[in-house]
A = this chain, B = another copy of it.
C-alpha cells in the first residue's frame, strides 16, 4: 500500500472544527467537549447536515419508482451519491449496495450464502455461494461482533464450521495460526481493528484466500473513514462500511461486491423495487445493486453520505491518515509515560491506524472512563464489540480513544492527564 505515507502538511483543524456544531458544546459542569469516540460514531459537519436538508426541502421523493419531476430528481441525487462513493473507494457504482449499516452489509453476504445453500428454485450461478457441512468459514479473533456473529449464524444455518486466525501478543493477526484449505469458502477480516488499531495484511490474506478459491470479505468500517482505500486494488470480493463513522449520517452503510459476484448472488431482503417480475406463484429479481435494495431506501442518508465523501475528499484521505497518525503518536507517547498503563495493540505506528486502547492497573476501564467523562473527555469503555479479542488478552474491558479530522493534539494530550487523575482518585497512584 502506498497509502501510509505521512505528508508533512498538517490539517487546518481549527477551521475544520468550525464545521462541526457539536464540538462547541460543553458537557458535565461546563467543560468543553473532548470527543475521542469517533471510532464508535463520528460527528457530522454542517456540509453533510445541509446536503441532507437541501435534499429534503427540495427534491425528496421515493426513488426508482416515480415518474414525476421530484422522483426524477431524487433518483438522480441518490445515484449521484452512489457514484461519488464509488470514486472515493475505487469501485464501480453498480458494485455498491446501500444498506442501513455495515452490520447489515455483512449479514447480506452471510444470508445470501445461506439462501444459496438452499438450492430449491435457484439458478446454477448461485452455486458458488453455497456452503454446507465440511465447509469452513474463516474469521479472526480480533473481529468486531458484526464480522463474527453473522458467520457463526451462517454456520449454524448451514452446518459449516467456523475457524479463525488467532491474534499475537502485539495485536496482529497470527498468520501462522491457521491453514486455509479447499474447504475454506470465506475469509472475513477487519481492515483495521476497532480496538487495537492494527491494520490487516490484506494482500497476504487475499492471496491465501484466492489460492484456495475462498471469497474474501473485508470489514472496512475503520479503514474507509480514516485512510485512502481502493477496494478494487485491494482485490477483495466484498467489503462493508458505515456512513456514521465517516462524517456521514447514521442509517446508511455500504456493501461493496465485485460485479461478477453481485450478479450471481441471490437476494437477501426482498420486497418492492428489487424485483423483475412478481406473480403470486413466484418472483424474479432485478440486477444489482437494485436486487439488494428492497423497499424505499435511506434516500437522504445516501445523499448525506455523498456529501461526507465530498468533505473528506476535499481534505484528502492522505492528509486525514497523516493527521490521525500524528494523534496516535501523541496518544501512545503520552500514555506510555503514565504508570500502570498498558497499551492493548501495537505500541508503534507501523501498520497501524488511530484507535488506541489501554488498561490501567488497578482501575477498571469503566471507572477510568467516568473520571475522563467528568473532565469532558468522551472515550469508549468496555469490549467495544470485540469480546473474544478482550478475552484473548485476559481482560474484560479497555478504554479506547479514537479520532477523526476534528481531533486536536491538545485534546489527545488531555487523555494522559485524565488517566493520571483516575489513578489518583482510585488511590493507585
A294 within 8 A of B: yes
**Residue of chain B at shortest CB distance from A267:** B153
Q: Min CB distance, A51 to chain B, in Å?
A: 12
The answer to whether B104 touches A296 (Cβ under 8 A) is no
Take A41-B62, A121-B156 as given contacts and tell me if A391 and B22 are in contact as well, using a CB distance cutoff of 8 Å. no
The answer to whether B67 touches A366 (Cβ under 8 A) is yes
Q: With the chains together, A249 CA to B59 CA distance in Å?
A: 14
Take A298-B251, A369-B67 as given contacts and tell me if A271 and B107 are in contact as well, using a CB distance cutoff of 8 Å. yes
The answer to whether A65 touches B382 (Cβ under 8 A) is yes
A413 within 8 A of B: no
The answer to whether B152 touches A300 (Cβ under 8 A) is no
Take A56-B22, A300-B251 as given contacts and tell me if A153 and B270 are in contact as well, using a CB distance cutoff of 8 Å. yes
A43 within 8 A of B: yes
A82 within 8 A of B: no
A156 contact set on B, CB distance < 8 A: 118, 120-121
Number of copies of chain A assembled together: 2
A352 within 8 A of B: no
**Residue of chain B at shortest CB distance from A68:** B378
A232 within 8 A of B: no
A33 contact set on B, CB distance < 8 A: 70
The answer to whether B49 touches A56 (Cβ under 8 A) is yes
Q: Min CB distance, A43 to chain B, in Å?
A: 6
A201 within 8 A of B: no
**Residue of chain B at shortest CB distance from A102:** B295
A150 contact set on B, CB distance < 8 A: 269-271
The answer to whether B56 touches A388 (Cβ under 8 A) is no
Q: With the chains together, A94 CA to B174 CA distance in Å?
A: 42
The answer to whether A101 touches B41 (Cβ under 8 A) is no
Q: Which of A257-296 contact B (CB under 8 A)?
A: 267, 269-273, 275, 277-280, 282-283, 294-296
Q: With the chains together, A156 CA to B121 CA distance in Å?
A: 7
A71 within 8 A of B: yes
Take A70-B35, A150-B271, A283-B152 as given contacts and tell me if A107 and B294 are in contact as well, using a CB distance cutoff of 8 Å. yes
The answer to whether A162 touches B280 (Cβ under 8 A) is yes
Q: Which residues of A contact B (CB under 8 A)?
A: 21-22, 25, 27-28, 33, 35, 37, 40-41, 43-44, 49, 53, 56-62, 65-71, 99-104, 106-107, 111, 115, 118, 120-121, 141, 144-150, 152-153, 156-157, 159, 162, 164, 242, 244, 249-253, 267, 269-273, 275, 277-280, 282-283, 294-301, 366, 369-370, 372-373, 377-382, 385, 387-388, 391
Give the 10 A-B CB pairs with smallest separation, nearest first: A103-B295, A251-B298, A146-B271, A251-B251, A272-B385, A68-B378, A103-B271, A40-B62, A100-B100, A21-B57
